[in-house]
Structure 1
Amino acid sequence: MSKFRKKSNTKQEIPTSALPDIIFMLLFFFMVTTVMRENTVKVEQQLPRAEQIKKLEKVELVSYVYIGKPTETSVYGTEPRIQINDVFIDVKDIVQFVEEERSKLNEAEKNQLTISLKVDSEAKMGLITDVQEELKEANALKVMYSTPQEIDLD
């Protein structure tokens, strides 16, 4: 019969040669899938309800304009204000905003820019009309009003 001997110098380490590859794959995964918040809304909004809703196909061609009462009333007052890209603007600055947004797009997409108005239901129609007139002057004719989506339980 043969005799079995037990080896006394056995190593029980975990191989770590693939560990950097795994870490970088996880890093790239989270970098690709994470969406950064673009704007901090500084106005209160109670959006009106819509009866018909159409979803946009290219969200990257949408620029948002928020209209409503400021959340920090001690600093900005209680009158409805216009907010674009984390700053409050006047109505006369809308043309410049539209031109800046168009300059970020390539030539084929410049005419497809859509302005999304997120307007509080308590905002005065005069301010909204002024914004619409400035958008016409800037030749931004694709305007949509954002509303929350209702779920139909029928």
Structure 2
Amino acid sequence: MPYRSTEVISPGRPDMTPLHSVTLTHDARHLRRKLLHLEDDVVMLDLKEPVMLADGDLLVLEGGGYIRIVAAPEALYEIRPRDPLHLIELAWHLGNRHLPAQIETGRILIARDPVIRQMLEGLSAEVIEVSEPFHPLRGAYHAGGGHSHGHSHHHHG
């Protein structure tokens, strides 16, 4: 009998032992309604609004129990800058192209793209092929359900 979940605990607590886990890539972790396939069963996920599931999140099952979300390793580029200022410059170039990026203190991770690799190497970044889970920053426009507000800027002279 398929499981059903309408709730996510993010992040899941270590003391909550899951019945199963499901491994998903970054793109597959953005969902609202979906049939998720386990080793020998399925979970019908039916959330009120879309969510970006993270590694370790738990789907709460109707009737009790949890399913752990596992971030799948993906083919990525690890971008290593010369110094912290160079990292900011590289992040700006990637952001300017609206590329999902995982930004850390000494590196940036992005999905592999030979054209972008060429650009980064042209900006004297070291680019290394890696395979690991991908957790890009969530853009401001993806935050909270339908929330928007105007901006007003006051300049003091």
- Both structures adopt the same fold (TM-score exceeding 0.5): no
For the pair shown, which has the larger CA radius of gyration, 1 or 2? Answer: 1
Given the two structures, how large is their TM-score scaled by the length of structure 1? 0.21
Q: Specify which structure has the higher proportion of helix.
A: 1
Given the two structures, how large is their TM-score scaled by the length of structure 2? 0.21
RCO higher in 1 or 2 (8 Å CA, sep ≥ 6)?
1
